[in-house]
Structure 1
Amino acid sequence: MSVAPGTGRHYLLFATERYAGPILQPLQKAIEARGDSLRWWCHGAAAALPVPRELRVDDARQAVGFRPDAVFSAANWVPHYLSGCKVQVFHGFNVEKRSDQRGHFRLRGLFDLYCTQGPATTGPFRALAAEHGYFSVEETGWPKLDPLFDGSLPSVEPSAGDRPVILFGSTFTPRLSAAPVLLETLRELVQRGDRYWLLTLHPKCPSPLVEAYRALAGPHARFVETEDLMAAQARARVLVADTSSIVSEFVAQGRPVVTFRNRAPKPHMIDIDDPALLDAAIDRALAPDPALRAEIDRYAQSIHPYRDGRSAERVLRATDLALAGPDTLRSRKPFNLWRSLQIRRDTGYWAW
């Protein structure tokens, strides 16, 4: 796939959480390769992202003044008052934390284009597009995973030696999080020292829990910040998690996962419900049998069949098509006064 020449367009990357950084950075790279203009609007918790000052807009007024031709959102919403094509690039895979009506397939009437990750989400979104008629859908793959396949990730640990590297990650949703339940078990497994552990928690997890996991770092483990999570996934042989979207991200590489009380366990997972089973489950994951390997490969193809590290380029090409054929952009989105007022209040923008 060749890189499209510069279009002279302005692109805005909209982030509301720190985890949006790894999702949108491949888009920044692809836009810069074209020679087009871009800015980041790092709103809320995303203000902590290490984005160069010259690439930032500080507030809604500056974002509007940038006059974007397209806005890429890694949140489930986007300021409706911005110009240009509103593009949903998603903040995670569909891991069935909630019903379709409340979760991954919920429509908020804000986006012109959905760039889906793979067949598992493309089909349902195309059915919704046919029903509602105000947005289009293109399957592009997920930009966040580009570095897993393009060889650009740095190493996150020099100390593992010959030991297998195991990654632990957990969601912040209290009823689904494995982190509080598995803490003592993981402490014992880390201290044993026969494996090297990379430990991470969702940025919204309670601070005392995060600090407890940070304290496990030492000669046999390292705590991984959100910004380094992709490098950790590339290095690990096995993931231990719960009902976090990191499960699907990891399986997209074709690698085994051990899940703890997953809300919707699938055949590609080794799901356990007792901390005492964790050690043996990891051993099984380190040597997956052919049946498990086949399930992992099947699921990976369904959620993200792209292994070329060029999903960000496909997102830009899909956006080009939407901008070149503006039928969707002219479609009237459903009006929701309450949501409009909420967004204006949250972003501090009241100009009409």
Structure 2
Amino acid sequence: MNYLTATKNKKYLMYISQNYSYAILRPIQAAILANGGEVRWFLQGVAVNPNFLKKEEKRLNTIEDIHEWKPDATFAPANLIPTFFPGIKVGVFHGFDAGKLDKKGNNDHLKARGCFDLYCTQGPNTTIPFKALQRKLGYFKVTETGWPALDRLFDGITETPYTNKSDTRPTLLICSTFSKRLSLAPKLYEQIKHFSETGKWRILMQFHPKMPTELVSKYKALSNQNLTFIETDDVVPLLKSADVMLCDTSSVLLMFLVQRKPVVTFCNNAPAEHLLNVTDPNKVEEALEQAFTYPKTLMKNIESYCQELHPYTDGQSSQRVLNAANEFLQSNEKLKPKPLNVIRNFKMRKKLNYWKW
């Protein structure tokens, strides 16, 4: 059965707490609307800018509004979601597993926190551990779908707002995470300043939204005809516009990599054969020069890694997510009860100031 036909007249809520979540959920919204469903948005917290909502996108402002509207399913690119929302809760992830560890040394990406009914995983290296958790815990289902945020990478459109046909230089995209310990930004300033002055490459720069403002200002001051600093909630056009990326441990490097393009990392915490990792600032330029040649062995390693990370290049992951949600809704599958999570649920209710039961 094609469960997309079950979308008609159903209601789907998009739950976001960060600006980058707009770009993750909009491909799912497009699939829903194309198949006759309804969509609403709920923006949680001050980190989300409501001005990024498009004119035609409809918002629910309170938890009471959500209960009155009664969504059949809520999609969230987050680790947590209120369990007291109506309908099923679908986790679609806010990024890839970049190997980051929590304070206890555990992989923070591969956790089930008692909130979701369905996880839509990105590829085998996410699906396999979550399937193991599914068998162990029993209160959620796992379906491999690919990641909706990447659908536009494979839509065949090559021109973006950052494309410059008159500039034939290779394009370098520099991205960085915000963590002082992991970020390349405080450590490679002199090298990047040098790149911006020599003009060997056309450089685009974009930082994590939580990057300290003093670092953002410092790098903005480097802007010239060779380097453009960009602040955006949507990195996909940037990823499509560059030939090579310079990054650290930010999971955005994996979004770039699935295009089968090389990434040079500085002090990556999980260096491997699909990356060109350097630990000496003076070796960065040499590594970038190598990356721009697209070495055969490196490209072969990238392809092998992408088959585990995100094998889908058809731009249809959002359709598969919607299909998985509808299948779950129609299956009436009996799962174990979610854990009570008393403290976590209390904190969530307090954050949202909602005390009805």
- TM band (smaller chain): over 0.9
Alignment of 1:194-343 (within 5 A): 194-328=200-334, 331-343=336-348
Structure 1 residues 7 and 35: alpha-carbon distance in aligned structure 2, compared to 1, 3 A threshold: closer
- RMSD of aligned alpha carbons: 1.8
Q: In the alignment, which residue of structure 2 is the partner of 1:52?
A: 54
Q: Where does structure 1 lack aligned partners over 5 or more consecutive residues? A: none
Of residues 68, 76, 84, the one that matches 2:87 is 84
Q: In the alignment, which residue of structure 2 is the partner of 1:67?
A: 70
How far off is 1:10 after superposition?
A: 0.5
Alignment of 1:22-33 (within 5 A): 22-33=23-34
How far off is 1:227 after superposition?
A: 2.6
Taking the aligned partners of 1:101 and 1:30, their CA distance within structure 2 comes to: 35
Q: Is the 8 A contact 2:162 2:237 kept in 1?
A: no
Q: Which amino acid aligns with 2:153?
A: L
Q: Which amino acid aligns with 2:296?
A: P
Taking the aligned partners of 2:73 and 2:59, their CA distance within structure 1 comes to: 16
Using the aligned pairs only, state the percent identity. Answer: 39
Taking the aligned partners of 1:204 and 1:303, their CA distance within structure 2 comes to: 26
How far off is 1:154 after superposition?
A: 5.0
How far off is 1:152 after superposition?
A: 4.9
Q: In the alignment, which residue of structure 2 is the partner of 1:345?
A: 350
Taking the aligned partners of 2:3 and 2:226, their CA distance within structure 1 comes to: 43
SS at match of 2:188: helix
Q: Which amino acid aligns with 1:94?
A: D
- Provide, for residues 287-333 of structure 1, a one-character-per-residue CA deviation record: whole Å limited to 9, x for no partner: 132211111111111100000111000000000111011224x5310
Q: Is the 8 A contact 2:31 2:319 kept in 1?
A: yes
Q: Is the 8 A contact 1:156 1:228 kept in 2?
A: no
Taking the aligned partners of 2:251 and 2:278, their CA distance within structure 1 comes to: 17
TM-score by length of 1: 0.95
Q: Which amino acid aligns with 1:170?
A: S
Q: In the alignment, which residue of structure 1 is the partner of 2:19?
A: 18
SS at match of 2:48: helix
TM-score by length of 2: 0.94
- Provide, for residues 197-222 of structure 1, a one-character-per-residue CA deviation record: whole Å limited to 9, x for no partner: 11000001111111222222221121
Matched, 1:129 2:130: no
Q: Which amino acid aligns with 1:66?
A: W
- Provide, for residues 127-176 of structure 1, a one-character-per-residue CA deviation record: whole Å limited to 9, x for no partner: 11011111000000000000000135751324461100000000112211
Alignment of 1:29-40 (within 5 A): 29-40=30-41
Of residues 166, 169, 173, the one that matches 1:163 is 169
Of residues 120, 124, 146, the one that matches 1:119 is 124
Farther-moved stretch of structure 1 (136-145 vs 30-39): 30-39
Taking the aligned partners of 1:164 and 1:154, their CA distance within structure 2 comes to: 15
Q: Is the 8 A contact 1:172 1:202 kept in 2?
A: yes
Matched, 1:138 2:166: no
How far off is 1:42 after superposition?
A: 1.4
Taking the aligned partners of 2:321 and 2:172, their CA distance within structure 1 comes to: 32
SS at match of 1:226: coil
How far off is 1:81 after superposition?
A: 0.5
- Provide, for residues 242-282 of structure 1, a one-character-per-residue CA deviation record: whole Å limited to 9, x for no partner: 00001111111111000000011111100011111111110
Taking the aligned partners of 1:274 and 1:66, their CA distance within structure 2 comes to: 55
Taking the aligned partners of 1:339 and 1:3, their CA distance within structure 2 comes to: 33
Structure having the larger proportion of residues in helix = 1
Q: Is the 8 A contact 2:10 2:38 kept in 1?
A: yes
How far off is 1:182 after superposition?
A: 1.1
Taking the aligned partners of 1:135 and 1:228, their CA distance within structure 2 comes to: 30
Q: Where does structure 2 lack aligned partners over 5 or more consecutive residues? A: none
